[in-house]
Amino acid sequence: MHEMSLCEGIREVIEEQARIHAIGQVRRVRVELGRFAGVEKPALEFAFDVVMRGTVAEGATLEMIDLPGRAMCFDCMAEVEIAGRLDPCPRCGGGKLLPKGGDEMRIKDLEVA
């Protein structure tokens, strides 16, 4: 379950920011997840609760924001949203697509007390 290691990385960022900004408690963590990031949301929620125990983020809410898959179509030269990596262009039906996004995972912001 790589979601556990993802949450350990989130914890490191939170702890670093807590030190820098003298944060006493984190109430909410908003994370952006790309459609193709390969993250299982229920596993991420479970791992988040486990990994945040004993930290400034213990008891914090994890909010996941879905980001669409995006690609550049070389047939119509448009950047389009795609549901699957191998899907054709939804605009022109072309098959020459270069993925441009949807595999990211990043902390968007923290709500602190």
> Helix (H) and strand (E) counts for the chain?
2, 6
Q: Is 21 helix (H, G, I), strand (E, B) or coil?
A: helix
What's this model's pTM, rounded to 2 decimal places? 0.85
How high is the mean pLDDT of the chain? 96
Domain span at 64 = 2-68+102-112
Residues 94-99, mean pLDDT to the nearest whole number: 94
Residue 86 placed within a domain: no
Report which of residues 31 and 1 the model is more confident about.
Answer: 31
Question: Around 111, how many Cα atoms within 13 Å sit in the side-chain half-sphere?
Answer: 10
Residue 32 placed within a domain: yes
**Tally of domains in the chain:** 1
Residue 75 placed within a domain: no
Instruction: Using CB atoms within 10 Å of the CB of residue 98, give its burial: 0 to 12 exposed, 13 to 18 middle, 19+ buried.
Output: exposed
Domain CATH for 38: 3.30.2320.50
